Amino acid sequence: MRSYRMNLNTTVTNLLVNLIGVWFFRNYARVNLVYRNAEDMNNHSVCLHVLADSIRSAGLILASWFLSLGVQNAEVLCFGLVSVAVFMLVMPLFRASGGILLQMAPPNVPTSALSKCWRQITAREDVSEVSQARFWELVPGHVVGSLSIQVKKGIDDRPILQLVHGLYHDLGIQDLTVQADNV
């Protein structure tokens, strides 16, 4: 009985400490948060970690109360609910970080705008081909890209490169690597 009370006291204390942590990170407590930079994602993940630990502590307290009432398998029921709640809570973070790790197309740059830039570059008389265009979000809020252009032989490629960098910079692509080949 003594270890049961100590365990319950420890759980309640853990819950209170975690709730203080949630209060400190309350600006990042929204489930769907727009990440403007890498620190936003990091702070949101810290908040979700503390919140998930709080949910776990609350589930343990609830299971202890159910057990004191004589409910069998209360731990299984409570921790099943805790698992579902935590999974639903962290799923948007998994989706966002997975998109970065898989180098998916940036969500804040429309593909139609990328296609329009592509068409503007290929419409130039001194450009014969544009290929291997890839754009992705390196960290939240920082879009990078690379593409290869083939310039007709004897043409100075500096004005073309300035145009390409200007077009994509207007879309919010901060870092762009352009390979220019003469054909």
Note down pLDDT in tens along the chain; length 183 residues.
Answer: 456 666 777 888 888 888 888 788 777 666 555 666 667 777 888 888 888 988 998 998 888 888 888 888 888 999 999 999 999 988 988 888 888 888 888 878 888 988 898 999 998 888 888 988 899 888 877 889 999 999 988 888 889 999 999 999 998 898 999 998 888
pLDDT at 36: 66
Q: What is the mean pLDDT of the chain?
A: 85
Does the CA dihedral 162-168-171-173 come out positive or negative? negative
pLDDT at 34: 61
Angstrom CA distances, 43 to 16, 30, 35, 48, 96, stand at 20, 11, 10, 9, 14
- Provide CB contacts within 8 A for 55, sequence distance 6+: 82, 85, 86, 89
pLDDT at 38: 66
The tens digit of pLDDT for each residue in 111-145 reads 898 889 899 999 888 888 898 889 988 887 788 99
From the CB of residue 51, how many other CB atoms can be counted at a distance below 10 Å? Answer: 22
- Provide CB contacts within 8 A for 40, sequence distance 6+: 28, 33, 34, 140, 141
pLDDT at 81: 94
148 three-class SS: strand
